[in-house]
Amino acid sequence: MKFLHLVWRNLTRKKLRTILTIGSIFVAFLLYGILGAVKLALVGGVEFADANRLVTRHRVSIIQPLPVSYQARIARIPGVNLVTHQSWFGGIYQDPKNFFPNMAVEPETFWEMNPEFTMPADQKEAWQRTRTGAIVGVTTANRFGWKIGDRIPLNAPIWPSKSGGAWEFDIVGIFEGTKKVADTSAMYFRFDAFDEGRVYGTGQTGWFQIRVDDPQRAAAIVAAIDEEFANSPAETKTEPEGAFMQGFASQVGDIGTIVTAILGAVFFTILLVAGNTMAQSVRERVEEIGVLKAMGFTNGLVLAVVLGESMLIACVGGAIGLGLALLATSGGSPVPAMFPVFYIPTPHAIVGVVLIVALGVIAGVLPAVQAMRLRVAEALRRGG
Amino acid sequence: MNWLIQVLSVTWFALRTISQRKGAAAATVIGIGGVAMVFVGVLSIGAGFSAVMGSTGRDDIVLVLRAGADGELSSGIGGPEVKLIADAPGLARAADGTALASPELFVIINIPKRSTGTDANVPFRGVGPAAGEVRGNVQIVAGRMFERGRNEVIAGAQAAREFAGLDVGSTIKLGNTEWAVVGLFTASGGAAESEMWTDASVLQGAYQRGNTYQSVRVRLSSAEQFQVAKDALTTNPQLNVKVVREGEFFAEQSTVLNGYITTIGYVIAFLMSLGAVFGALNTMYGAVAARVREIATLRALGFGPGPVVISILVESLALALLGGVVGGVAAYLAFDGFGAATMNWQTFSQVAFAFRVTPELLVQAAIIAVFIGLVGGLFPAVRAARLPIASALRET
């Protein structure tokens, strides 16, 4: 412990260099943190998909509607626990730039099917009572400052209303996520009101959500559902929810992969440069280390002093960078319109800590070992 | 004159001694090169996407959609309305007097991507007989045009590259209908190349759409006729339509993705520049520290502080520019022409495009590199100029 002072004096000898190196490491780990959040935002849903949930859509494409009557037929298939359905509404609030997902659903089955969302019981009841009622996720409610009791007009280019004007919904509840990964940017309203109010398409819905008893049997149930509607005018395609989301993620596709690859490359480039500077600063002091050894410092002690120095730099820079990234993403997404789910997953943060330690060790150990092996006389001569 | 000679000789001296600090200099070049490469790489995605959308839009081509629709998917136009639209003034007409107007139907089908094997939303368009003439840039590059009234399709060149089973001679099964792929077409690199085309009336039948379409694409007799045609169509009481230039229509579709890409690109580039500035500062302070005695000797010999400052700035700028060039070239080699496809959320379907490293991007990257070099060199240069000569001479 008494040698801590020595480490400290070494660091403060060239203050500027130390600060600049810490600065580089800070930037690297800030980027690393952001990388984790971006990755999650682009493909996160896939990993956290509910293994007990299947999605059934029209075989040709998801924009083709399916008859609502399929619901009862799917429910009869053995192994199916619960069936509900959702319809994409595509409503626009004031301006297309204010995009958020909005869908018509069945309030009766919604909560049991989607346990990742939660809302106070009185608001759930209000939704059951109010035909024009809509519930909105906390992300979007905050984004537009909506409160319970507000009446929200949505224009729906896909679905003209019988009244001819905008659709109006009364906010009766604001739901939150029970899990961090839950996307609370959507608005849901009642299918019965939607079905009655639209000019065409009555009796048709977008896709079915299905809950099964046993995910092990999912493959058999998928086959049974698609078999049920084979050779009908509207054939279906059923997938586990994870595969369904994977499909979407891979459609956004290459761009996400490339952005994450680039961020990764950036991270390692900065680390390489910073590590090189740290190693350099030890190499410059060979003669001093010779003096230390001449004074009776053991090899182990020299190693510890040099390693301590590089560890300190890595830890300070890395901790501030990673900490700032965690802090910036802890209060929900800073860019809800772009990425509704945006936080750093814990495993990613843990790997970050490991990387910080690894940086400190690797940048310190090579010059430290060199220093350790030095013969005193040679080191002293080298300084000249 | 004397001053200029001083500047030149000191600078030449500084540049020649770079080779003695290879490690640190290389770290700077790599750091700044990394910034340039990442910046160019990310923004080339946006540039490529815009290029596809941009080369698609022409000012003398106009899209007629239902009023209030935000794209073709949410639009709808009945058969009788198509005839009214074709009668509007200002439209280009063929030799026999028929207007260059193509009523079109736009649906989305699932076809697996070649690269991943997962389903992708592919745009499937039913077009009128005049579709090729309206666009003016459609060319069949393999096979032949589809025959009207038959279940035949032609595939865009990009679609055939990106999605499985769209080669000439193959068949695709959609629902209960089989379609034969009979040809491949190009459209000057535009978004249509990501689509599949067939006869609109066949597609209406296959999708139970009756006699309805989603949009009518018309060619104007000249771009100036836009207002004439627009006024005639929007004031016609039998029609409820909106009229947009194709160029504007596509530009709007690329704004969302471009917004994402530019934001991401600039945020990353900014953070990286910060890291690179730290790196450059370290290198240049190191360079000054290593040459303390040299610089003090020069000053003692009568060289002024100005030439010393300039020499260090030039050294730093040289390293930065080298980094910028290396990064730009690397980005060009790695990213230019890289084929990719992504979701166009406005049409809910795939658009294939190639990354484009444009000269503007390279210039921007060079500017960023120079800026990093300036910042990284300035402070060390000032320190060098302020060195107390007597004590610096003594320093080891």
Q: What local confidence, expressed as pLDDT, does residue B306 receive?
A: 87
In 10 A of CB B205, how many CB atoms?
15
Question: Which contiguous run of DSSP H or E holds residue A73?
Answer: helix A70-75
Task: Pick A27's closest partner by Cβ from B23, B175, B271.
Answer: B271
For strand A102-105 and strand A187-190, is the pairing parallel, antiparallel, or unpaired? parallel
Interface of B with A in 175-204 (CB under 8 A): 175-176
Separation in Å, CA of A28 to nearest CA in chain B: 7
- Report domain extents, chain B: 2-55+253-394, 68-239
Taking CB atoms and an 8 Å cutoff, what residues of chain B touch A338? 260, 263
Q: What local confidence, expressed as pLDDT, does residue A384 receive?
A: 46
Taking CB atoms and an 8 Å cutoff, what residues of chain A touch B31? 269-270, 273
Is residue B331 within 8 Å of residue B41, measured between CB atoms?
Answer: yes
**A15-47 and A254-283 are packed helices; what angle lies between their axes, rounded to 10 degrees?**
150
- Report domain extents, chain A: 4-46+253-383, 60-234
| Tokens 């994977």 sit on residue | A246
pLDDT per residue, tens digit, chain B (396 aa), is: 678 888 888 888 888 888 877 777 887 888 888 888 888 988 888 888 888 887 666 788 999 998 878 788 888 899 999 999 999 999 999 888 889 999 999 988 989 888 878 888 899 999 999 999 999 889 999 999 999 999 999 999 999 998 998 999 999 988 778 999 999 999 988 889 999 999 999 999 888 888 899 999 999 999 899 999 999 999 999 998 999 998 888 888 777 777 877 887 788 778 888 888 887 888 788 778 877 888 888 888 888 888 888 888 998 899 999 999 999 999 999 889 888 888 887 777 888 888 899 999 999 999 999 999 998 889 888 888 888 888 888 765
- Does A255 contact B261 at a Cβ distance shorter than 8 Å? yes
Q: How far is CA B96 from the centre of its chain?
A: 40
ipTM over 0.95: no
- Does B34 contact A269 at a Cβ distance shorter than 8 Å? yes
Q: What is the pTM of this model?
A: 0.78
Task: Pick A251's closest partner by Cβ from B71, B263, B350.
Answer: B350
Distance CA B12, CA B17 (A): 9
Q: Is B118 on the interface with A (CB under 8 A)?
A: yes
Taking CB atoms and an 8 Å cutoff, what residues of chain B touch A157? 68-71, 74-75
Separation in Å, CA of B175 to nearest CA in chain A: 6
Residue A356 to residues A26, A30, A37, A314, B317, Cα–Cα distance (Å): 10, 12, 18, 6, 32
